[in-house]
């Protein structure tokens, strides 16, 4: 049996089950979503500045590559000026 740390096996074995307590909240005037993921067994909590960061983390934990389309869209949004 592999030892798991925040859902990721220390060995190269992929877990069949992952569990996190995910919290979402808005900061500022409700425009920016923040998130945290807490491992239920260890209590370790990781904070994320955006939902995309949370999703990338979860993809990595599952052994999947980060979403290249999401990265491209995020970069495009960051370079655009907000509507006036």
Q: Is 22 helix (H, G, I), strand (E, B) or coil?
A: strand
**pLDDT higher than 50, residue 84:** no
Please answer whether residues 19 and 28 qualify as being in contact, where contact means their C-beta atoms are separated by less than 8 angstroms.
no
Higher pLDDT, 51 or 5: 51
- pLDDT reported for residue 3: 47
Ordered by start, the domain boundaries in the chain are 16-66
- pLDDT reported for residue 69: 60
**pLDDT higher than 70, residue 80:** no
> pLDDT by residue (tens digit) across 23-32?
999 988 878 8
Alpha-carbon torsion angle 46, 59, 3, 14, nearest 10 = 180
Model pTM above 0.85: no
> Which letter does DSSP use for residue 71 in this model?
H
> pLDDT by residue (tens digit) across 45-72?
999 999 999 999 999 988 876 665 655 5
């Amino acid at each position: 049996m592999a030892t798991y740390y925040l859902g990721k096996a220390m060995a190269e074995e992929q877990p069949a089950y992952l569990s996190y307590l995910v919290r979402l909240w808005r900061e500022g005037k409700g425009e920016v979503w923040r998130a945290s993921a807490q491992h239920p067994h260890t209590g370790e909590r990781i904070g994320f500045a955006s939902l995309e960061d949370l999703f990338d983390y979860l993809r990595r934990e599952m052994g999947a590559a980060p979403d290249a389309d999401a990265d491209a869209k995020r970069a495009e949004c960051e370079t655009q000026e907000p509507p006036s």
